[in-house]
Structure 1
Amino acid sequence: MGKLRVRQVPLLEIFSMAVEALWSNRLRTSLTMLGVIIGIASVITVTSVGQGVQKATEQQIQALGTNVMLVLSGVARSGGISQGAGSASTLTFEDAQAVGKQAPAAAGVTAYLQRGGQVVYGNQNTSTSILGVDLNYPDVKEIQPQEGQFFTQDDLVNATSVVVLGSAVRDTLFASGERAIGANIRIQNGRYTVVGVAESKGSVGGQDQDDRVYIPLTNMSARIVGNNSLNGRAISGFWVKANSQEELEAAQFQVTNLLRVRHNIYPPKPDDFRISNQVDIINTFSSVVGLFTVLVSAIAGISLIVGGIGIANIMLVSVVERTREIGVRKAIGATNQAVLSQFLTEAILVSLMGGAIGVAVGLGLAFAASTAFSFPFIISGVAIAAGLTLALGVGLVAGVIPARNAARLDPITALRSE
């Protein structure tokens, strides 16, 4: 008697049988995929939204200049509690002027004095930031008037009561179509004439650049703040615009040494000022967003693990339910390898389909979020590839044990089952 020839089942036939088995149990297949869909969708959404928010913030900061740094006054303390950078009167207008003249890497310097206050026009009022600035502010901060003009040298010298409104303040105080230029408003009970409206710059780092008003620094110091240091006119800080982004580090070095000399600061005495630049802000924010993305992606990974456990459980139940079918197939010549391949293919298909649907859902959610909150919609090819690879891995791992159990079934025992 000759040996029984065992036919090798083609991969296409295995794939076809796997698809047919999944289709005949559509509800079970859908529920099995749910964990994978949630996990992959979470990864794609979080990655895309994180990159979009990061890009939007970078664009906003870059719009204010990546070759700009901020020098803040020192920290005042009350009862041992820090009041925050800029709270002590350690910097003066004369410090800013000295930096502008003596720091070769500095293309421009603008001093400012900032306080919160009430602005009133007619029966409208709003609480906003009041900035006393000098004439260099529009060029250094790249904020030009979109209506009217900035105040003049005479206004600065004479401490004239004129004001340039941020666009958000203008929209709050004035009705649509109403002309703001030439109107008289009250700031801290003083009367100021509107000479300009600044162009819109949006929000950066949670601060609305349009929710503020600008008045001459001399007027702010004399009439609103009313405090001068012993060595000159006190300021909250000043912005330094370097000749280029490449010279930003050199400018920071020059400013630090110049201020230390002017303030008689020598080691180990600490600086009475603090310097930060836009590049550092971008890098810090990118690190924070990156850590947040990793954290949420790790949580999404837990959903994938749960999804894999669900696939394994459903496949194990499927083996029990289809014991007789497996017995019939093995009785007519199906090899252990063929049965193993079919069940493993089913698990992989479930995971990959769940992964593909998860990618689509994730991209849809990310697009909806970018549209609703106005940040760039970024499709991360790496995240999509990683998601699908994870889905494939989940299918392989989750399908191995059920597929092995199915392949090891004794055909006689399987045929006896009901």
Structure 2
Amino acid sequence: MSSPPPFTVPTSLAGIAVIPYSDYNYPMIAKNLFRRKTRTFLTMVGISIGVAAIIALGALARMFENSYQSMMAGSKSDLVLSQPDAFDVSYSTVDEKVGPELAAMPEVAASSAMLQGLIQAEGTPFFFIFAYPSDSYLLEKYQIIAGDSLSSPAVKKLRGKPVMIGSATAEALNKAPGDSMVLGTSLFRIVGVYQTGDALDDRSAVVSLPDAQALLDRPNQVSLYYIQLRSPNLRANLERRVTRRWPDLGLSGTDTFADKQIMVDALNGYVWVIAGLAIVIGGIGMMNAQLMSVIERTREIGVLRAVGWSGRRVLVMILGESLLISLLGGMLGVALGWLALYSLSTSSSLITGLAGTLEPDLILRAFLVVIPLGLIGGLYPAWRAARLPPVEALRYEGGTGGSVRRLPFGGLAVQNLWQRTGRTLLTLSAIGVTVGTIIALESTIRGAYSSMTVLATGSNFEIAVRQSNITDTSMSAIDERVGEKIAALPEVAHVSGMMLWAAILPESGSIFVINGYAPNEYAIRRFKVVEGEPMTGNHQMLLSKMMSDTLNIQPGDTLDLGGVRYRIVGLYETGVVWEEMGGVISLRDAQSFMGKPHKVMLYMVKVHDPEQAAAVVEKINREFPGVYAALSGEFINDLPDRQSSTAILNGISLLTILVGGLVVLNTMLMVVVERTREIGVLRALGWGRRRILGLILNEALLVGFLGGLVGIALAFAMVAMLQVIPMLEGALTPVWEWDIFARAILVALLLGGLGGLYPAYRATRLQPTEALRYE
């Protein structure tokens, strides 16, 4: 008996092009994607924005990391002596008196001081300067390409303040030897242009050590000492000698010093936060697009199953499409990241030519993000496609078929969203993550600065005073003589100085905030001791109750910070984030720790008559030009730190809004495509274009509004999860104000409205006869 002929399917079934089994290959995956070019392109763009952010921020972090490593390698030194546990080289402080004694040690062949700092320069808010002694061997690494070196005899005879600038700085600022340059508030004359091959050095400037100490207000202080050994075998001897002589300083090799810079780790952490957002929002958009693709191609998948395709092969096809979109989006993101670096490099001399520093491992890092994104976004749609029974898939009639689910309430827009619950939930998730991230960040930032305001208002002070013309509050340094003159004003009742600094705990690597107050001044009264006794002198510490529980330290114990041991005399609770993450030491100890003797970061002023506070503010600003005074309730808004954090928040907000907006746009375009025949029927029944426009826009706005509510709930959940972290428990105090929620709903409505505008317009352009013929 002859066997029956094999089952075959016509090459065309109900208008669906059937691809024969033997034709299944990778080009087929690409053809499937570009059937819906707009949907594929929008999904790629959403992915590319996250990748571009990873590339740009990663390149910036890498520039600092490579620069520190190059700085160490180019120093031709063996060891570095610095303040241990400092956040960055710029914050390390070593007394200049260490230099002569260090140079006299038998193991040392040569040593050189180095001072590094950040200042404002020629309209650039953050500009690095370096300083060395005039006889330093480190000056040899600066190859002069124009003019003279700082150590040349001709420069030493010149009047005024000389400065050498890097080649990238000279190009960005269009400066040459003989030109003048404003650093901070001082005028310098450019004597030479140098080149080192190091990204940070060539984007900076070099001044004499005395000029830098005056410019940074750090008299008799340097950041570190470079050391050349007579023999590498003498390192252990020198380490023992240095530890005995200066227990508060740390000695490390130049090969490991760069790895200890916490600022680089902070930048890398910021990159991975962006990467996480890109994965979550981009993954949701990817899943939404692929799910729609599976629904749209249900009958095609049924035909493929009918001609012999296994569920596994269908799964591989859908996953392949998802991965291909991710890879294409990654490549587009690399190009956008390069353009972003190029744009950034034109905005500041500090990052001029940054686009040329893009390294292969950064690109690899970006693709290590997009590949999981493609897998995560395509896994559920691929699984769903593989599970489709061939018979049911062949009976599928597109958007007009299937069961109709209706809610007992709501208009047409509500019913349409309910009909596609899965797609609606994914879109709500994308908007919710976008909005939730923004308002969670804003509430925590507001909480942090609200706590700063409590430092003054909670202490019953009316005025806060800081140094003027600084790029960061941590760089504020007001001479104590200024405080004495302010205290002598007849309107003033009390003046209290304050220091605020961050150290790294060597055991855990976590941040410890140091608050410096004079034990006998008015401001320290706000620290209510809940256990132990008040602080009375130096080398004592009041520790926050939260840190006491975290570190398992009680009154009577000691805590080592930066090589200095403090005795815990009491525990306090204030509810202020900065104060709960650390402890209080005497003002003198804080000044010594920060290397700023007889300087304070902030002065808090209490006046006899609060109604005269505004007049006293004007008087202080008029009579003391080096400081800036403001009412205690207003000075937070003028802090340079506030502007920096606002810029970071705006950057994250822009990124998430762009990606979230693309997800909404893509979703609403899919809605229009899927309901083409339905729209044709409505047009045939007499619906005008304006009514169709209103229908699609109403759905988009409703999705946006509901997404905003989801975002508010997610924001509360995000902050609650952060507060569970032991180091942040009780210290993170978000501020939830009505305008935050109003902004959340507004952003969500804008996402919905803008995302639905073009799809709604496209729906109005559909001709009834063509729409009715759509399959």
TM-score bin (small chain): 0.5 to 0.7
One-letter code aligned to 2:274? I
**1:324-343 aligned within 5 A:** 324-331=299-306, 334-343=309-318
Answering whether residue 330 of structure 2 is matched by residue 355 of structure 1, we say yes
Alignment of 1:133-152 (within 5 A): 137-142=134-139, 145=150, 147-148=152-153
Q: Deviations over 1:227-286 (max 9, x none)?
A: xxxxxxx965795743369456644543554x57xxxxxxxxxx5x7466683753322x
Deviation at 1:322, TM superposition (A): 2.2
What is residue 55 of structure 2 aligned with on the other side?
Answer: 44
Please give the alpha-carbon distance, in whole angstroms, between the structure 1 residues aligned to 2:114 and 2:287: 65
Q: 1:318 to 1:395 in 2, by over 3 A?
A: same
C-alpha distance in 1 between matches for 2:79 and 2:313: 67
Question: How far did 1:342 drift?
Answer: 2.9
Aligned 8 A contact 1:343 1:403 in 2? yes
Question: What is the alpha-carbon distance in structure 2 between the residues aligned to residue 303 and residue 198 of structure 1?
Answer: 45
- Find the counterpart in structure 2 of residue 409 from structure 1: 388
The equivalent position to 2:66 in structure 1, one of 55, 74, 79, is 55
| Pair 1:106 & 2:92 matched | no
Q: 1:345 to 1:240 in 2, by over 3 A?
A: closer
For the residue of structure 1 that corresponds to 2:24, the secondary structure is helix
**Structure with larger Rg:** 1
Residues 340 and 406 in structure 1, CA contact (< 8 A), matched pair in contact too = yes
Other-structure match for 1:119: none
2:376 aligned residue (397, 403, 408)? 397
Deviation at residue 310 of structure 1 after TM alignment: 1.6
> Could you report, residue by residue, the CA deviation over 1:321-371 in whole angstroms, capped at 9, with x for unpaired residues?
222333444455555444334323222221222222223333443455467
Unaligned runs of 5+ in 1: 73-83, 114-128, 152-160, 170-174, 181-193, 221-233, 261-270
Bigger shift: 308-317 or 336-345?
336-345
- Equivalent residue, structure 2, for 1:226: none
Is the contact between residue 45 and residue 332 of structure 2 (CA under 8 Å) also seen in structure 1?
no
What is the identity, as a one-letter code, of the residue corresponding to 1:28?
Answer: R
Give the whole-Å Cα distance in 1 for the aligned partners of 2:310 and 2:158: 91
Q: Structure 1 21/239 Cα, relative in aligned 2: closer, same or farther at 3 Å?
A: closer
**Which residue in 1 is equivalent to 2:228?**
242
Corresponding letter in the other structure for 1:9: Y
Question: How far, CA to CA, are the matches of 1:44 and 1:382 in structure 2?
Answer: 10
Question: How much has 1:29 moved relative to structure 2?
Answer: 0.8
- Judge conservation of contact 2:55–2:366 (CA < 8 Å) in 1: yes
Distance 1:86 1:398 in 2: 52
Pair 1:252–1:370, CA change in 2 (3 A): farther
Which of 314, 324, 333 pairs up with 2:289? 314
Deviations 1:201-226 (A, max 9, x none): 9977x9953266579xxxx9xxxxxx
Map 1:198-277; keep pairs closer than 5 Å: 208-210=205-207, 241-243=227-229, 246=232, 247=234, 250-255=237-242, 257=244, 259=245, 274=249
Q: Number of matched residues?
A: 325
Q: Deviations over 1:13-69 (max 9, x none)?
A: 243332222112000111222332223333333333221222224334555553465
* Alignment map for 1:17-166 (pairs within 5 Å): 17-60=28-71, 62-64=73-75, 66-67=77-78, 69=80, 85=93, 97=100, 99-101=102-104, 103-108=105-110, 137-142=134-139, 145=150, 147-148=152-153, 165-166=161-162
Q: 1:3 & 1:201 partners in 2: Cα distance?
A: 80
Following superposition, the deviation at residue 289 of structure 1 comes to 0.9
- The 3 A distance-change label for structure 1 pair 209 and 145 is closer
Measured in 2, the distance between the counterparts of 1:295 and 1:132 equals: 32
TM-score by length of 2: 0.35
Q: Measure, in 1, the Cα distance between the counterparts of 2:284 and 2:108.
A: 61
Secondary structure of 2:136's aligned partner: helix
Question: Given the superposition, is the C-alpha separation of residues 39 and 6 from structure 1 closer, same or farther in structure 2, using an over 3 Å criterion?
Answer: farther
- 1:227 aligned partner: none
**C-alpha distance in 2 between matches for 1:333 and 1:25:** 26
1:9 and 2:9 are equivalent in the alignment? no
- Conservation of the 8 A alpha-carbon contact between 1:147 and 1:197: no
- Percent of aligned pairs sharing the same letter: 22
Q: In angstroms, what is the RMSD of aligned CA positions?
A: 5.0
TM-score (structure 1 length as normaliser) = 0.59
Larger RCO: 1 or 2 (CA < 8 Å, sep 6+): 1
* Letter paired with 2:39: R
Listed as ranges, the gaps of 5+ residues in structure 2 are 10-19, 84-91, 116-128, 141-148, 166-174, 181-188, 399-775
Name the counterpart of 2:258.
282
